[in-house]
Amino acid sequence: MSDSHTEPPSTPALRIKAIQQLLQEKGLLPPGAIDKIVDAFEHKLGPKIGARVVARAWTNPDYRRQLLTNAVEAIGEFGSHDPHLAVVERTPTIVVENTPAVHNVVVCTLCSCYPWNVLGLPPNWYKTPPYRSRVVIDPRGVLAEFGLKVPDDVEVRVWDSNNELRYFVLPQRPAGTEGWSEEKLATIVTRDSMIGTALCKADSR
């Protein structure tokens, strides 16, 4: 919000440093707190959590049922239990399941709401106007740009996570993975498949 017309523009790096210094001088920001948060977000969250959740759901019908009815508890099994992520990991979450008849895809048209608890921070495209604007009005066109052609007889459900609930997609288990272990299955569950902009493939590692 640099409304100064006479001063030289400040870089983002300088601006956030100034904020941090000021708040620390004023005793509003505990020293070291930011490093711990950033470390937890960067290294303990991410789509690997979601991939483990999906692989478990593919191999364990009881877990799948629990995931579809009480996702927070089911996901919690794979959570970091890092106290810095406690709020993130308690996020109310709904899992929507892809079937041969229904394909689901997630967006936040108003900002960038995203299931941090299972996928970590969102990719840039998820947060930008091209995706947020168009996926609700032309989901099939947008998915085609990801290389995903949804047949006309398959229903497309777009989930606009505009409120307190976060959504993520339980993709279909691909053919050719019969007999695979949970660990091996987790390796083919991509971030995009859990947003709904891709399918899982046996060779997508």
With CB under 8 A as the contact rule, the residue among 73, 90, 111, 176 that binds other proteins is: 111
Catalytic-residue membership of 200: no
Residues 36-55 contacting other proteins, CB under 8 A: 37-38, 41-42, 46
Would you say 128 and 142 are in contact if contact means Cβ atoms under 8 Å apart?
no
Catalytic-residue membership of 181: no
CA-to-CA dists, residue 9 to 17, 19, 191, angstroms: 15, 16, 37
Between residues 19 and 65, which has the closer beta carbon with respect to other proteins? 19
With CB under 8 A as the contact rule, the residue among 11, 61, 175, 205 that binds other proteins is: 11
Q: Does 139 bind other proteins (CB under 8 A)?
A: yes
Q: Does 87 bind other proteins (CB under 8 A)?
A: yes
Q: Does 29 bind other proteins (CB under 8 A)?
A: yes
Candidates 1-9, 50-58, 72-80, 174-182: pick the segment binding other proteins (CB under 8 A).
1-9
Candidates 59-67, 73-81, 86-94, 178-186: pick the segment binding other proteins (CB under 8 A).
86-94
